[in-house]
Amino acid sequence: MKRSNTVTTAVCLALMGAAIPAMADEWNRKTVITFSGPVEIPGVHLKGWGVLPAGTYVFKILDSQSDRHIVQIFNKEENVVYATILAIPNYRLQATDKTTITFRERPAGQPEALRAWFYPGRNWGEEFVYPKEKAMLIAKETNTPVLYTPAAVPVEVAELPVEKDAPVFLEMRRAPVAAVQPSGEDAVLSEVVTPPPPAEMQVAAEVLPKTASYMPLIGLFGLTALAGAFVATKSAKRAS
């Protein structure tokens, strides 16, 4: 009986080692979001998907730098990327324990425009950046400043790449970001968004390397446990 317990414990530890990587959602901030109505989105999107119909989607961070982030929107199964959006960090005084999505209300008959995404427990989130012409239109309709990029980043594509070093993502990383007022004139960016304190951004930037370095140890632990289970099984057979 003792030998049987030893084998079971070793196998359980190995399975735990295989399951722990799911905790990596913290750094890519994977979030499942359901929209009750159509939502207009910025960024580079699949042709015909500039407005997401009501439904369930998955938001993830593809890339995180100090002054800008790249967010991807997937279908519920996470096998189709609908959009890749440039965003910059925006700070809020009070964090919440639930995901917060903010919109820009449009005139009757038009879909709400996606504005920002705040992950649970964080004081800062993602303020989304629109193409300039669309930003000017939304700013006028909502009477609020809207972030935009004047860079020639494509709006619609037949297929979105998933590699971080794809040309479209390299262009998004270096694209300038500004803000436009309802009048059509540029606004001061610092008056539209509040960047997080540098210390918080540094902590967030360190999460991925720490997670990445921890995962190989978990895998090694799992393999060791499996090896231990195999040895224990062989010993049990010999003893019997």
- pTM beyond 0.85: no
Spatial neighbors of 233 by CB under 8 A, at least 6 apart, are 7
Instruction: Decide if 101 contacts 33 (C-beta within 8 A).
Output: yes
How high is the pLDDT of residue 95?
Answer: 81
Encode the chain (240 residues) as per-residue pLDDT tens digits. 433 332 322 333 223 333 333 334 667 889 999 999 999 999 899 999 999 999 999 999 987 665 678 899 999 999 999 999 999 988 886 788 889 999 988 888 889 999 999 998 888 889 999 999 999 999 999 999 999 998 777 788 888 877 777 888 888 888 899 999 999 999 999 888 887 776 555 555 554 444 333 333 334 334 334 444 444 444 444 545
* Domain spans of the chain, in order of start: 36-196
How high is the pLDDT of residue 196?
Answer: 74
How high is the pLDDT of residue 81?
Answer: 93
- CA 110 to chain CA mean position, Å: 26
CA distance 167 to 131: 18
Neighbouring C-alpha atoms within 13 Å toward the C-beta of 227: 6
Q: Which amino acid is at 17?
A: G
DSSP 174-204: H---EEE-TTSSEE-HHHH--PPPHHHHHHH
